[in-house]
Structure 1
Amino acid sequence: MSEPTKMKRGLKNRHLQMIALGGAIGTGLFYGSTSTIALAGPAVMLAYLLGGIVIFFIMRMLGEMAVDEPVSGSFSHYATKYWGKFPGFLSGWNYWFNYVLVSMAELTAVGIYMQFWYPDLPQWIAALICLVVITAINLINVKLYGEFEFWMALIKIAAIVLMIVLGLYLLLSGPLSFPDNFRNIWVNGGFLPNGWWGLAMATAVVMFSFGGIELIGITAGEAENPDKTIPRAINQVIWRILLFYVGTMAVLMALWPWNKVGVDASPFVQIFSNVGVVAAAHILNFVVLTAAVSVYNSAIYSNSRMLYGLASKDEAPEFLGHLSGRGVPVKGIFVSSGITLICVALNYFFPGKIFMYLMSIATIAATISWMTITITHLKFRKYCKEHGKETKFKSPLYPFINYVCIAFLVGVWYFMLQIPDMELAVYLLPVWLLVLWLGYCYRERNHQKG
């Protein structure tokens, strides 16, 4: 069988919906929300709302470009075409790096969740098993990946809905009547116990939770009928995410005092254990474990596709641009999966200490991707205007909202500097950009020699 020249368009709308939700509803909500609750208290709901609105506008910018030109590699391709070679090189490799970090954070979370049932099980063993299984699934074909992610995402979404319903039942059937049964939201220091400053810092942290939603753009090269499926996926997924995040936080904050949510387990598991629903705690631990595996699955998928897109532009080694007979970038999967073995080693040597560091560096990398999308969209619309071109899925409030999003992302960097566990990631930002620049210069020099 000769090697195919294109990836297979095997992802349907239901796959795209769940892939986007699966990428964005994971460890950031189920485990990372611990730190955001500590920063903002009940106002964490507002932090998720603000972050979600900004991400929606950025997704609409990406969606306009993806519908106009549905290609594998997504915004790296658009950055090269409409902005320049270095921005394209930077955005592609930065996105890959971002999802490598996300992969590591999710593998770390898998180890943490397994210890809920098996306290003596080393984190690195659980991480290694997850890595092997998910890599095998991704190697078969894109349709199997889509089906696996569909059901994994469906489990955690159904669980979130059930959790909200169960939480409301506990609140409404308890000894207190409305509004006293929701009093935890405004007692213990008020709705903004740490003031607007705490809210701003929490908003910077919650942005990690939204990392992965741009995966819709990555799937454009393998989506059936992208003109219809991509706009539908983007428009439908954002309000669901806001419902899940804001609604879930509202129930959690009402059920238990925000200042008693610890860091030994997911807030979801801890709160339901504390109110006496033991079975629910076990079920929720299974769900948060599923969520972490789901996001790791999406990370391996997107990383291999980004490497394929970079190789097709001659910005990555040529062997990464080869597809299997089933249209799968097998070598890209092995490279992306293999490098996350570093996480297995880190969990072996430093168990329980690396999640927050991985989350903060991944957040910085994600903001670079979002910044690139926002600026590239400005260049894209300028190109369309100059060439009299009309697009099918226009981003609203252009160009005003582009500049608002840029200012917001700069603000995220500033407030990350105010958080001790995250400031190192901001200091590493110029170092990382320099590494990318040197890599780009090395590539250009080799091309000139060739």
Structure 2
Amino acid sequence: MSKEGELSVWHLTMLALGTVVGGSFFLGSAIAIRTAGPGIIISYLLVGVLVYIILTALSEMTVAEQLPGSFRTYAEQMFGPLVGFVVGWVYWTGLILAMSSEATAASLLIKSWLPTSSLSLTSILIIIGVTFLNLLGAKILTTLESGLALIKLSAIVAFILIGIALILGLVPNKTAIGLGALTTEPLLPTGISGIAGSMLIVMFTYAGFEMIGLAASEAEDARSTIPRAINYTVLGLVGLYSLAIVVLLPLIPTAGLTEEVGPFVAALNRVGINWVANIINIILIIAILSTMLAAMFGLGRMVRSLAKEGSAPSWLKDKGDIPFRGIIFSGISMLAGVGLAYILPSEIYVFLVSSGGFSLLFVYVIIMATHYKFRKNKGCPPSGNCQLRGYPTTSLFALFFLIAIIVSMPLVPGQGSGLIAGLLLVAFYSLSYIFIKVYSLIKSNEEISLIKLLGIEKLNKKENTRQRNMSIKSLKPATNWEVSEELVINKSDTKKSKQ
């Protein structure tokens, strides 16, 4: 690891935005908008508040301790090695499967321009390129990621400006749209259920912001850099997303949106600006590649953290600034994920890939549960820097909100399989940890017990030590007399002993 951080507020913010702003917003948001109608703006604002709470909670823990593995390591500290093992590997597996499908999606977009290109070969080349760029180091990668993120953000800003011009009638030969489609649509065409049904997909459009935590140990002056980067990330995301949706709504009826065409392309096509479709496709490819680059950054560091704690094979340990082995291992695993698409029946492959969304939501639940216990045990970070106001209410609100989103997954078409696949993933890694632990105890001739399997004895020792330290700090003499008479050697007794 770097002794001195290289990543500035700008790098961290662009890394987070590069991970978050991807195909789920440019393409997948159409389903959420159609489900909630114009009320989708409420969904984006509500989830924006949720993202702020989660990121601020993560920031508090990061300010207190900059540790490799971020949320995985904090979870292990609070709940034991089983939780740390499971959350680390579930996050890694979910991202690997999701990014494998993203590589395939990018290949399909490229094939629309190059019909003779091979889907499998293009996917392989994309993954190799993403892996190689990550091997160049955090500073070079985040500089590149900043450029790609700027392109994506500029595309959103351009859409907002074009939309405002269309609404106000500033485009030559175009009549002012005004409120347009909004005049014929109710705010909540399907009621509150529409808002609830859109929450999961809206959450996915924000997903990936946890990358700031994984980069924290490589940030310069993390205690001031991380909170600022988080504030800029949240303000940037909520601001741009909300403005883009507000501008979109007058341009096209929400019921007319489909998952085949992105909402921005559909809106501009409807008003006669057809040439924008190809540009948006280019932006979409850039968005996917940018997301893959940032995801690989986090995957390599997660593997290094797991290996360091003995939760991954020892040959994956890395001592340098760049987690070469973790990155290469993740790259090979992505290639294997692409291979599965051609080996397994399509239904099974889609089932596996759908676990990616659950994996991220699972991580966010763990972050909030960890923060609740972390703050309860350790209080505020150094210098009393309590960033998350309203604790514990805010932590519990976010925790229950996230659980509600997970429970609602079967209500969204195509997401029920994601919940099942995700739960199976959690069960698989839980059983894997227990099997490894049992084998280790048998090998060392130790007694097998539930406490040892869960690693609770380590947590108990830490808790007892913490309480003992607190007790020692609280021991104070009641009066000066107690100090002079009981704790200090009496001079007259010393004289008598000399005689």
- Compute the displacement of 1:354 (Å): 9.3
CA 1:124–1:62: 2 relative to 1, 3 Å: same
Question: In 2, distance between residues paired with 1:330 and 1:96?
Answer: 16
Shift of 1:363: 1.9
Work out the CA distance in 2 between the residues paired with 1:74 and 1:280: 40
Q: Which residue of 2 aligns with 1:328?
A: 322
Instruction: Specify which of 8, 14, 20 is matched with residue 12 of structure 1.
Output: 8
Displacement after TM superposition at 1:428 (Å) = 3.0
* One of 223, 232, 237 as aligned partner of 1:236: 232
Aligned counterpart, 2:332: 338
Residues 43-442 of structure 1 correspond to what in structure 2 (within 5 A)? 43-118=39-114, 121-173=117-169, 177=176, 181-187=178-184, 189-323=185-319, 327-345=321-339, 348=342, 360-385=354-379, 391-442=384-435
Q: CA deviation at 1:127?
A: 2.4
Deviation at 1:334, TM superposition (A): 1.4
- C-alpha distance 131-281 of structure 1, shift in aligned 2 (>3 A): same
Measured after TM superposition, the shift of residue 445 of structure 1 is 2.6
Contact 1:123 1:351 survives alignment (8 Å): no
Q: Which runs of 5+ in 1 are unaligned?
A: none
Describe the SS at the equivalent of 2:272.
coil
Cα 1:350/1:262, change in 2 over 3 Å = farther
Give, as a single letter, the amino acid of the residue that structure 1 aligns with 2:160. Answer: I
Distance in 1 (CA, whole Å) between partners of 2:39 and 2:111 is: 30
Question: Is the 8 Å Cα contact of residues 36 and 194 (structure 2) preserved in structure 1?
Answer: yes
Q: Does the CA-based 8 Å contact 2:4-2:220 persist in structure 1?
A: no
Query: What is residue 491 of structure 2 aligned with on the other side?
Result: none
CA–CA distance in structure 2, aligned partners of residues 111 and 45 of structure 1: 32
Task: Give the CA deviation at 1:182.
Answer: 2.0
> Is the contact made by 1:124 and 1:347 (CA closer than 8 Å) also made in structure 2?
no
What is the Cα deviation at residue 69 of structure 1?
0.6
Partner Cα separation in structure 2 for residue 297 and residue 411 of structure 1:
31
1:48-102 superposed Cα distances (whole Å, 9 cap, x missing partner)? 2211211110110000001111122001111111222212112211221232133
Equivalent position SS for 1:16: helix
Contact 1:34 1:267 in 2 (8 A): yes
SS at match of 2:66: coil
Q: Give 1:323 shift.
A: 4.1
AA in 2 matched with 1:443? I
Q: CA deviation at 1:229?
A: 0.9
TM-score using structure 1 length: 0.90
**2-structure distance, mates of 1:349, 1:36:** 32
Point out where structure 2 has 5 or more consecutive residues left out of the alignment.
445-499
Distance 1:322 1:92 in 2: 17
**How far apart in 2 are the matches of 1:122 and 1:267?**
28
* One-letter identity of the residue aligned with 1:423: G
What are the superposed Cα offsets for residues 281-337 of structure 1, whole Å, 9 maximum, x if unpaired? 22222112111100000111100100101111111111222245xx21111111111
User: How far apart are the structure 1 equivalents of 2:179 and 2:117?
Assistant: 38
Contact persistence 2:101–2:338 (CA under 8 A): no
1:43 Cα deviation from its structure 2 partner = 2.1
What SS does the aligned partner of 2:322 have?
coil
Seen in structure 2, the aligned counterparts of structure 1 residues 353 and 263 have a Cα distance that, compared at 3 Å, is farther
Give the match's secondary structure for 1:21: helix
In the superposition, the TM-score normalised over structure 2's length comes to 0.82
Q: Secondary structure at the match of 1:277?
A: coil
Q: 1:75 to 1:37 in 2, by over 3 A?
A: same
| Distance 1:245-1:109 versus aligned 2 partners, 3 A rule | farther
CA distance in 1, matches of 2:346, 2:180: 34
Assess if the C-alpha contact under 8 Å between 1:104 and 1:358 holds in 2.
no
Letter in 2 for 1:372: I
The alignment partner of 1:262 has SS state of coil
RMSD in angstroms over aligned alpha carbons? 2.6
1:14 Cα offset (Å): 0.9
Residues 113 and 275 of structure 1, relative CA distance in 2, 3 Å threshold = farther
Quote the offset at 1:151 in angstroms.
0.6
Greater mean alpha carbon deviation, residues 46-55 or residues 364-373? 46-55
Question: Which amino acid is the alignment partner of residue 392 of structure 1?
Answer: N
- Which amino acid letter does the alignment assign opposite residue 219 of structure 1? A
Q: 1:226 to 1:354 in 2, by over 3 A?
A: farther
User: Which digits, 9 at most, give the CA deviation of each residue in 1:235-263, with x for residues without a partner?
Assistant: 11101101121111222222122222233
TM-superposed CA distance for 1:225, in Å, is: 1.0
- Cα pair distance change 1:336/1:148, threshold 3 Å: same
Residues of 1 paired with 2:158 and 2:105: CA distance?
Answer: 22
The alignment partner of 1:117 has SS state of coil
Please state whether the residue corresponding to 2:69 is helix, strand or coil: coil
Q: Which of 168-177 and 52-61 deviates more? A: 168-177
Further displaced range: 140-149 or 124-133: 124-133
